[in-house]
Structure formats: structure tokens, C-alpha cells
Amino acid sequence: MKHPHARRRRGVRRRGAAAATVAVLLASGTVALAQAQASAAAGCKVGYTTNDWGSGFTASVTVTNLGDAISSGWTLEWDFAGDQQVTSGWNGTVTQSGKHVTVKNPGWATTLSTNASVNPGFQGTYSGSNSAPAQFKLNGTLCDGSTGDPGDPGDPGDPGDPGDPGDRVANPYAGVKQYVNPEWSAKAAAEPGGGAVSNQPTGVWLDRIAAIEGVNGGMGLRDHLDEALEQGAGLVNLVVYDLPGRDCAALASNGELGPTELDKYKTQFIDPIAEILGDAKYAELRIAAVVEIDSLPNLITNAGDRPTATENCNVMKANGNYQKGIAYALQKLGALSNVYNYIDIGHHGWLGWDDNFGSSAQLLADVADQSGSKGNVAGFITNTANYGALTEPYFTINDSVNGTSVRQSTWVDWNRYVDEQSYAQAFRQELVSDGFDSGIGMLIDTSRNGWGGAERPTGPGPQTDVNAYVDGGRIDRRIHLGNWCNQAGAGLGERPKAAPASGIDAYVWMKPPGESDGASSEIPNDEGKGFDRMCDPTYEGNPRNNNHMSGALADAPLSGHWFSAQFQELLENANPPVQ
């Protein structure tokens, strides 16, 4: 929801952009990490980084053997996600058949000892998009950072795991069934056609203190966890969302705690949640905990002397309670070996500009340090409850028309990214360079970014000028990138999926499709929720969406409440389509 976007200071950014000659285009990431476990049968991890110039690229593949020493040669294999074609290779013999690529050790290097790495590379061409392969295999073993040995204390589900946070797996989503929230599922199934998606996992939102026990007779946290065990699920998606002075640049999801109620947040919200999640009964259930969306990015973009600043964000910036609350949550939850903390990085239409990107990453690093250790953070989430396209198939940030870069188009407006996947991968690199573990993984909320249906372009826009090209080809049909509330024309995006691309732990449906982002007119309530005109279809905007129409659907209920018309539109415009 929310997402008080985020326009950077125009002057500063423009100047910086014009001077930037080299785009940092590392679509890169480590596929999986592992706290190297010594003796084991077979296991590996792979880092895959590319240097991309639009139609061609070089790739560097770092393969680490986590298993027993290999003495008689190694073979690395993967399938390309797109139409990539290898043209030459090094540090190994690279062959390709269709999408399948095989790299064999060079004749002079047949051994690979435990924890040793090799680094083959290649040059290739492609058209369309150049996403990283979803998985790699070394001598037939999937390189997911684990060793697969049942006796390895780092592997999930081993009996007798000591419960040390160091035992977390590289990607908690890999190889587990996710919990389906029966409350959401029932609402989805009751909609015409909704049965086609009602078995998907969606986020469970703890959006107020009372939600821990259950609101209005609904399920509380223990009920969800017990039900997850019943379902035989291995992972629950949980959103921890009740920060003091919540969502300072918007009103639709303001919460129950005032700007100074930090102690209440700690003792009545985080402590009881940590106590429940730490119950031995749930030790084998992984919890992906999204810790407080709508907060830290606001301190960067909507505070201080920016034209987008709001009074509430300045209050939160001055009192430091966002940082203190989040650091506390990370520390308490990070102490539990079954919890994986993911922090909000907004989305590309919020932090993708140069003067927001690096400073946001730095703030996240500071807050993680404030929690005691960056090790309390498993990863980051982008696009929560937002609408940014996963990938824009018909244009890239490197394109230009008649010598004018797409960055100069009105839609892109000097942003450095045009979609969520490239943004998430680049942000991951930035965080690693700020000191986070190279094994951190990203989540992308794809609940409402499909942009299918009749309005979806089927090819690139005309090359008459840069705006015609971008506007004709973009699948994100919003009026403005800064619009965030109940967007008309949106559709369900990729179904939840583990390890879909390099550096990405999962595509998730953190925002349950069909739950409103905010009321389209004022509705009195006792949930702390205000009326934000970004949810009113007649609203003409503010500096955070550069004074454009809101693009919101009419007749919307309060945020979090069921919005049947929206659900039906999401189904109708789903991409991939719903079968």
C-alpha cells in the first residue's frame, strides 16, 4: 500500500544523472549462500554476476564446493531463463544446447576441494530480458547453499537442531510448502473464479496489538501457526506492522501507536510476538518476517528539506523511533533460529533514483547495526503492496530513441530502474557493499503487478520519440509511478515461487490480493486509519506523485478490508493469466 513516493530533489538528481557516464548495471547476485558446513556429502553455492550492455553481456560464475572434495572432474549446469546464447567461455569448457548450458572443468583442473571455488565465465548475446538462471547444479547436485546431508546441523528439519540462529538456511523458501491463510483463502474462493488462486500463500498481517490474539473473533498468531503445522507447511509469511507513527507520509494505513509509543511497541507488540514464535512447538516452522514496511524509506524521501516532506515524517526523523523500533524487532526476532527477517526497501518507483538509493541502503545498514548485528537480517523485500512491474518486457533502462535515453522520458524521469527485478538485484549488491552478508536474499511482492488484460501492450512502443516509445511499450499502466492506492487496471502477478532468479529468495504475495489499500472516501473507524486522498479517484495529486490523478478504484473500503471489485479486476488482468 502506501508508498508515499518518493520523488527526489529534482535539481540535485538531474545534475547527478547527466554527469553519470557509466551505469552500474550489475544484474548480479549470489544464488545461495551457506555458512560453510564442513564435512558433508554433496553441496554447492553459486554466485552469478553479469556485465550487460543491452544486447550482449559477460557473466562470471563463482562455484563453491560445500561438499566432500571432488577429485575426478566437475560439471556445472544451468538453464537460461531467456534466449541467451553463449558465444565464448573461459576457465572451463562451455557448451550450450537450447537453453541448457554445461560447463566442464578445464583439463588441468579436475579437483575441487571442500570450500574451494572455481570461476568460469563466458560472453553471450540475448534479446528481451537477461535475467539470471534460476538454479545451478554441480555434478548433479542443486547449488542451493545446503549440503543435503541429513546429519548437517545447517539443514532444515534436522532433528536435534540446536536452535542457534547461525543454523538458518540460505533461502528459507527453497524446498518448502508455504502456509495458506484459510481466512484469506475463504474470501478469495467465494469470489467468482477465485478458486483458481485461493490456495496460494499470502501474508499474515499483524497490523495492531490485538491482531496477535485475533481481531473480531478471527485467527490470532498462534492459530495461524497451529494451522500451518496442520497443513504440513514449512514456512509462514508474516508482516510485523505496528510501528509508532506508522506510515508517516500517507494516511490510509496510519496505525494505533503514536510517534512516541516506543515502549508500548516493544513490550505489547514485539515481545509477545517473539515469545510465540520462539515456542519450541514451532521450531521447525520457518517464519519469513517482513519487519515494518512504510517507514525507513520515508525518512529518506519524505523528510527534511525535500518538497515531498511531511510533518509526520519529520517528527519520526527527529525522534528516531522508526530506527529504534525496527532495531528492537530485528534483535528480538533475529535471536530466534526459525525466524528470517526481511526489511522493506520500498520499490523502484520510490528509491530507484540515485539520490535515494545509496542513502537508503546506508540507513538500513545503520539500523541493522543498531540491532546488534547485520546477521539479524536475512534479506529485504521490495514492492510490498505496490504495483511496480516485475520486468518491463518491451524496454530497458539502456534503450534510447533518436539519441535520447529512456531515462529522460516523462515516465522514467531519470530513475535508474524500470522494473522491480532489476531494482531488487541492484539493491542487493548495494547492501552487500554496505556490509551485509553476500548471502542475503530478496523478496518481491508480485501480488498485484501482473498488468495483463486487454490494455497490456504486446510489443515495444513506436520509435518516434522517447515518450511514445516508453508509454507505448510499458506494461505498468499507472497514470504515474508514484500512485499506490487500489490501482485501476492492475492484475495478479507471478504466482508465489521460490528462488525464481539470481539473488531473489522468492516471489511472494505479501499483500493479500483483494484487501484494500485504503478507503476512497472518509470512513470513521477504530483502527487508527485515516483518509488518504490518494485513494480517492477524483484526487488530483500532490508532490509525491507529481500532481497526477490518483488512478484509484472507486468505492474502496478501509485498508485491509475485503474489496471484491478489486479482487475481480486483479483476476481478470492477471499475468501470467489465471487458468
| CB of residue 566 to ligand BGC, shortest distance in Å | 11
DSSP readout, 132-145? PPS-EEETTEE-SS
Active site residue 247: yes
| CB of residue 518 to ligand BGC, shortest distance in Å | 7
Residue from 146, 391, 560, 567 touching ligand BGC (CB under 6 A): that is 560
Q: Binding to ligand BGC (CB under 6 A): which residues in 227-266?
A: 253
Q: Are 176 and 234 in contact (CB under 8 A)?
A: yes
CA-based nearest residue to 201, from 170, 240, 231: 231
Strand partners, 79: 100
Ranked by CB distance to ligand BGC, the top (closest) residue is 560
d(CA 517, CA 2): 7
Q: Is 65 annotated as a binding residue?
A: no
- From residue 443, how far is each of 16, 205, 286 by CA, in Å? 29, 16, 15
Identity of the residue, 152 or 207, whose beta carbon is nearer to ligand BGC in the bound complex? 207
Identity of residue 253? S
Binding window for ligand BGC (CB under 6 A); candidates: 18-26, 100-108, 485-493, 511-519 = 511-519
Catalytic residue among 52, 144, 247, 344: 247
Identity of the residue, 408 or 568, whose beta carbon is nearer to ligand BGC in the bound complex? 568
| CB of residue 553 to ligand BGC, shortest distance in Å | 14
- Regarding 1 and contact with ligand BGC (CB under 6 A), the answer is yes
Q: Binding to ligand BGC (CB under 6 A): which residues in 185-214?
A: 205, 207
Identity of the residue, 425 or 516, whose beta carbon is nearer to ligand BGC in the bound complex? 516
Give all strands (DSSP E) within 377-456, no chain letters: 379-382, 400-401, 404-405, 441-445
| CB of residue 11 to ligand BGC, shortest distance in Å | 33
| CB of residue 515 to ligand BGC, shortest distance in Å | 3
**Helices within 155-287 (DSSP H only):** 182-190, 221-231, 262-264, 271-277
Residue from 261, 392, 515, 532 touching ligand BGC (CB under 6 A): that is 515
Q: Say if residue 192 is exposed, middle or buried (CB neighbours under 10 Å; 0-12, 13-18, 19+).
A: exposed
| CB of residue 251 to ligand BGC, shortest distance in Å | 11
Identity of the residue, 169 or 510, whose beta carbon is nearer to ligand BGC in the bound complex? 510
- Regarding 559 and contact with ligand BGC (CB under 6 A), the answer is yes
- Regarding 517 and contact with ligand BGC (CB under 6 A), the answer is yes
d(CA 187, CA 184): 5
Identity of the residue, 63 or 290, whose beta carbon is nearer to ligand BGC in the bound complex? 290
Binding window for ligand BGC (CB under 6 A); candidates: 182-190, 311-319, 412-420, 510-518 = 510-518
**Helices within 70-207 (DSSP H only):** 182-190
- Regarding 512 and contact with ligand BGC (CB under 6 A), the answer is yes
Q: Is 347 annotated as a binding residue?
A: yes
Identity of the residue, 333 or 485, whose beta carbon is nearer to ligand BGC in the bound complex? 485
Q: Is 527 annotated as a binding residue?
A: no
Q: Is 484 annotated as a binding residue?
A: yes
Sheet holding 441-445, edge to edge: 204-206, 235-240, 286-291, 339-344, 379-382, 441-445, 504-508, 497-501
- Residue 313 C-alpha cell reads as 515524517
- Regarding 219 and contact with ligand BGC (CB under 6 A), the answer is no
Give the number of other Cβ atoms within 10 Å of residue 177's Cβ.
12
- From residue 518, how far is each of 297, 331, 450, 485 by CA, in Å? 20, 31, 20, 7
- Regarding 387 and contact with ligand BGC (CB under 6 A), the answer is no
Identity of the residue, 505 or 517, whose beta carbon is nearer to ligand BGC in the bound complex? 517
d(CA 88, CA 481): 40
Active site residue 294: yes
- Regarding 486 and contact with ligand BGC (CB under 6 A), the answer is no
- Residue 403 C-alpha cell reads as 539519441
d(CA 46, CA 439): 10
Binding window for ligand BGC (CB under 6 A); candidates: 46-54, 298-306, 439-447, 507-515 = 507-515
Identity of the residue, 89 or 512, whose beta carbon is nearer to ligand BGC in the bound complex? 512
Catalytic residue among 52, 152, 167, 294: 294
| CB of residue 129 to ligand BGC, shortest distance in Å | 30
Binding-residue total with ligand BGC (CB under 6 A): 10
Active site residue 517: yes
Q: Are 451 and 485 in contact (CB under 8 A)?
A: no
Give the number of other Cβ atoms within 10 Å of residue 151's Cβ.
12
Helix (H, G, I), strand (E, B) or coil at 74: coil
Q: Is 205 annotated as a binding residue?
A: yes
Q: Is 275 annotated as a binding residue?
A: no
Residue with cell 505489547: 268
Residue with cell 498481517: 205
Q: Is 242 annotated as a binding residue?
A: no
Catalogue the active-site residues. Answer: 247, 294, 517
| Footprint on this chain of ligand BGC (rule: CB under 6 A) | 1, 205, 207, 253, 511-512, 515, 517, 559-560
**Binding region for substrate:** 205, 207, 347, 350, 386, 484, 511, 515
